[in-house]
Amino acid sequence: MKTVYDFTVKDRQGNEVSLAEYHGKVLLIVNTATGCGFTPHYDPLEAMYKEYKEQGFEILDFPCNQFAGQAPGSDDEIHEFCTLKFGTEFPQFAKIDVNGDTADPLFAFLAAEKPFESFGKGVKAAMMSKIFNANNKKFGDKAYIKWNFTKFLIDREGKVVARFEPTVDMDVVKKAVAELL
């Protein structure tokens, strides 16, 4: 059975990184953007990282510019923005695509393991449904991720156990992480 440990990604300098390096840790894998309405998620993500890092928790940040061009900078510019504005210390990888023919294989795998269900209920969810339908129709059946700050929770064996859309309250995400630790 395939796990996230079977994948290799690129760090910000373009070096190959095997996710097997994270074996035995609880992971939260996130596609991010610096100019998105959900960019403030960096604050609770960093707080969670600081609180749980010593217990074997890692956040893996993958910037993506496929959603309304909301991550236009270079890898270094994005990293500088995140560290200066939000004080992020968790690993940030090279910018990737998460949808379409150029989608990173890791994100295609994550989405196959935990497909999109919905943005939930309420005003934010209704708004997001309209936006993502317009943006993602160009990717067809390869529209794996619906928007920035989609989060995948991985257990210590490398299995995908949950998917959180950006509309999910960060307290719900934190509770799920704590339960795995």
**Which own/partner pairs from 171-175 qualify as long-range (CB within 8 Å, at least 24 positions apart)?**
173/28, 173/44, 173/48, 174/44, 174/48
The token duo for 12 is 């910000």
- Specify whether the backbone of 69 is left (phi greater than 0), alpha (psi in -120 to 50) or beta: left
The active-site residue, picked from 36, 103, 128, 145, is: 36
- Residue length, the chain? 181
In this structure, which amino acid lies at residue 83? Answer: T
Q: Where are the beta strands (DSSP E) in 33-171?
A: 57-63, 151-154, 160-164
Tell me, yes or no, if 64 is annotated catalytic. Answer: no
Which of the residues are catalytic?
Answer: 36
